[in-house]
Amino acid sequence: MSVSFSKVFRSNIFYVFVIFIGLTLVTSVVVYLFERRSNPEEYRNLWDSFWWVLVTVFTVGYGDIKPETTGGRIVAILVMFTGISLLSLITATVSSIFVARRIREGQGLEKVKVEDHIIICGWYDRAERILESIFEVAGDSFPKVVLVNELTPEEVTSVVTRFEKEGVKYIRGDFTKIATLEKANLKKARMVILLPNLSKTDRVDADEKTILATLNIKSVSPKVKVLACILDPENESHVRRAKADYVFVSDQFSDFIIANQVSNPVMLEVFRGLLSMDSGKRICVEAIPARFVGKMYREVFEFFRKERRALPLGLVSQSEPISLSDFLSADTSFLDAFIEKKLKQAGKSLEEEEKVMVNLNPDDDYVIKRGEQVIVLR
């Protein structure tokens, strides 16, 4: 936590340290003046006197140096009383700083220092299950997670306590505010998940907050991936226009599952087995060894089926974003400037968004390309 010098100078601990150092220096000089003639073997210089004061204040009591004159012993008594008092005050002040900071962290008011973490904004009835599933899928390598919402202290304590082993952290505040997102260390995050904030808003306003949060996140940190979960399918285009990287509509696939269940009564259990965390089987994406680039899909299928004990379902690839500015000339001619101006007026970006391409059950003779990954059931 960065602290300005002016704030340090205004703090109580600074004044206590100044008094402590001042007392140590003054008493060192006074004792040296009293003892340098009567006890020159022990008080040879100011450093010996300074050493004696520190040993006395911290109650170490080595006994290698001790005052013999009346004046020196009177100073020693004063050092004992004032030193213990100041030392207790320093200890209490430092402890109170850490305790106050701990309390503020528990209340979600302190900035977190984690990096490469996942920020989960908003809260609704499925949020805790989503959080649980994230850790189940991750296995032993727990991702660092920071929650940002406005739940009651009791609700937050319950969630954080449940996931204490996973080290979940919490920031209290409105996630549409940039200041709140900065407390969650947005610029160092790996991904932001925006959930419908039904703990504070109704279903109509929840998607609006998601859109606003997406705009703010991308304005501050465009490279951070944003996964937005919305309630109304009609808002999907608005969220994508706000530059969300991934958009998920709640209950998006319920009509498909119901329709398949009507046509075939076993389909619901099939989907449950594929999508449930309790089934022990899950669909995941894995890298294809480099030696298979340029080879047929059938070879990849056999390799994963026999060597990896997984059932390949298809391929997936992600295209790199291409900037239109890459095609414009380097000398920023009038024509290039005109094109760029017109695109901005039309609300278009010069950057082409990343595209994820899925190729399920490709032909056996499909040629594997560089950058493709395999979708498997394991």
Question: Which pLDDT score is estimated for 32?
Answer: 86
Q: Does residue 152 lie within any of the structural domains?
A: yes
The parent domain of residue 138 ranges over 118-252
Instruction: Give the per-residue pLDDT at 8.
Output: 45
Of the candidates 217, 252, 287, which is a domain's last residue? 252
Six-digit token pair at 263?
């046509």
Average pLDDT score over the chain: 82
| Shared-domain flag, residues 186 and 147 | yes
Q: Which residues contact 185 (CB under 8 A, 6 or more apart)?
A: 111, 112, 113, 114, 115, 117, 146
> For the purposes of burial, counting CB atoms within 10 Å of the CB of 254, is it exposed (0-12), middle (13-18) or buried (19 or more)?
exposed
Residues 299 and 364 in one domain: yes
Q: Does 249 score more than 60 pLDDT?
A: yes
In this prediction, residues 180-187 reach a mean pLDDT of: 91
Q: Is residue 156 part of a domain?
A: yes
- pLDDT tens for 189-233 read 999 999 998 877 888 789 999 999 999 999 999 999 999 999 998
Percent of the chain with pLDDT over 70: 83
Mean local confidence (pLDDT), 164-168 = 86
Question: Does 296 share its domain with 346?
Answer: yes
112 falls within a domain: no
pLDDT of residue 20: 80
d(CA 23, CA 17): 10
Q: Which of 119-123, 247-251, 314-318 has the lowest mean pLDDT?
A: 247-251
Backbone φ and ψ for 335, nearest 5 degrees, come out as -65, -45
Q: How many residues belong to the chain?
A: 378
- Inter-axis angle of helices 12-38 and 70-106, to 10 degrees? 160
Per-residue confidence (pLDDT) for residue 263, from 0 to 100:
81
Which is more confident, 181 or 356? 181
Domain contains 264: no
12 pLDDT more than 70: no
> Do 298 and 362 belong together in one domain?
yes
What pLDDT does residue 353 have? Answer: 57
24 belongs to a structural domain: yes
Tell me the three-class secondary structure of 148-202, residue by residue: EECCCHHHHHHHHHHCCCCCCEEEECCCCCHHHHHHCCHHHCCEEEECCCCCCCC
* 285 and 370, same domain (yes or no): yes
Sheet of 191-194: strand order equals: 169-172, 145-149, 118-121, 191-194, 225-230, 246-249
Q: Which of 106, 129, 162 is the last residue of a domain?
A: 106
- Asked which of 106, 135, 153 is the last residue of a domain, the reply is 106
**Distance separating alpha carbons of residues 117 and 119, to the nearest angstrom:** 7
Domain containing 225 — which CATH number? 3.40.50.720
Kindly give the pairing relationship between strand 191-194 and strand 225-230: parallel
Q: Report the alpha-carbon distance of residue 237 to residue 247 in Å, rounded.
A: 9
The side-by-side arrangement of strands in the sheet containing 356-360 is 283-287, 373-377, 311-318, 356-360
97 versus 89: which is more confidently predicted? 89
Query: Structure tokens of 259?
Result: 């329709």
- DSSP classification of residue 312: E
In a domain, 262, yes or no: no
Same structural domain, 140 and 95 = no
Is 146 a domain residue? yes
66 and 124 fall within a common domain: no
- Does residue 142 form part of some domain? yes
60-69, 117-126, 280-289: the lowest-pLDDT one: 60-69
Domain count, the chain: 3
Cα separation, 332 vs 336, in Å, equals 6
Q: By CB neighbour count within 10 A (0-12 exposed, 13-18 middle, 19+ buried), where does 56 fall? A: buried
- Distance in angstroms (rounded) separating the CA atoms of residues 368 and 209: 42
Residues 124, 98 within the same domain:
no
CA dist 238 → 98, 121, 222, 229 (Å): 44, 18, 17, 12
Let me know whether 245 and 296 are in one domain.
no
- Determine the average pLDDT of the residues in 89-94: 74
Same domain, 243 and 343: no
Same-domain check for residues 282 and 211: no
* Mean pLDDT, rounded, for 81-105: 72
How many angstroms separate the CA atoms of 214 and 191, rounded? Answer: 12
Question: Which pLDDT score, from 0 to 100, does residue 117 have?
Answer: 92
Is the domain of 129 the same as that of 96? no
Query: Phi and psi for 27 in degrees, rounded to 5?
Result: -65, -30
